Structure 1
């Protein structure tokens, strides 16, 4: 029995080229992690690959939630958060399927929370310069200055607010009202981190190198960036007007 206090949430849509490789890479680490795939009705057979691995090799550490269609990154993660909380995990991770996030960095994010006492650890592309490989320069600049924009508008001092490589302690996700999270794309990543910050949770950025996907197709769109751009103004207003939950005692 491969028991673990940690689970990696991997949302998928048409990731047949990557999903088995990323699962095996996570399970090849010295620390035991579990994996939950949240698949949004991939027509390419992504879910079938996961089910095969569950049935033949990883029944006690690989899980899947299959949804009916593309319902948004934010709703996929919230579905996964609730599942992970219901199943008792202490550390809950966000991670992409396409190897842009290196599985070898998972123990570093875990240590930042488990060993160092932080509530949120972020795999940060920008805390020590710009650590992005094989992205078009326009996309690098858009992502980098999006995070700068968030810092300017909100006063939130995290360098990589749009990062999707994150570890949350369970008490963070138990405290944030998940059903009140509004945004679905990049804005979701910003909103989760900003809300954790406003409640008073300890956040640490762990420097990582982000590598653009080698296989499969990117799901990024201009609308995702637009949501983030205008959503930041809403978050700033929330920071002034909204009553956030109290920081829970340890």
Structure 2
């Protein structure tokens, strides 16, 4: 006969009834994020390295970067090759457009980025797109013969780089001219204001007759009954007589 303790242990080991709706975790219907395009993915990667990139203007699947050695006068690979991006950057402080060329390197962590400032600092040859920076760089852009989809990649990339370099230079010159015109206008207005008298302001006697020295503070009393001024009176006497005449007219005298 089982003891009371054994019966108690057996009762505790029995499974307890479960309310499925209460115990089961709630089902949350989370829709997956919308798929991103290749351009959005590329832009996200670029902005991790270069936060001032705002948009992609052109992509070349594969490019190799060369540098021109002035001593040997030869083009040399510098270990940077990969996808080439032509990017739009945040505008300059003056509001001019800015663009750059970026190569995300497949061989190492060293990428290449160079801002396009002027069409005068680049040249397009049959083999390279040449950019003048801290040194002379040559972009070799991969393309295959027709009817491949990459047949026109080299020409299209070169034309896009040149067009954006021209746009950057033109907008920069335009913004500089606006700033210069604004500065010239402000200087002219300041010069006019300094040399003119504000509207509604009455000129003082000092401005009309020049700096006059008052020699006698009581001249109006002394000259109250003085005769009319003669041709030999000084500037101070003339001013005194003017004031005397005005005072006499005010008092009804004269």
Q: Answer whether TM exceeds 0.5 for this pair.
A: no
| Structure index of larger Rg | 2
Sort the TM-score into its range (normalised by shorter chain).
Answer: under 0.3
> Which is richer in strand?
2
The TM-score with structure 1 as length reference comes to 0.24
Higher relative contact order at CA 8 Å, sep ≥6: structure 1 or structure 2?
1
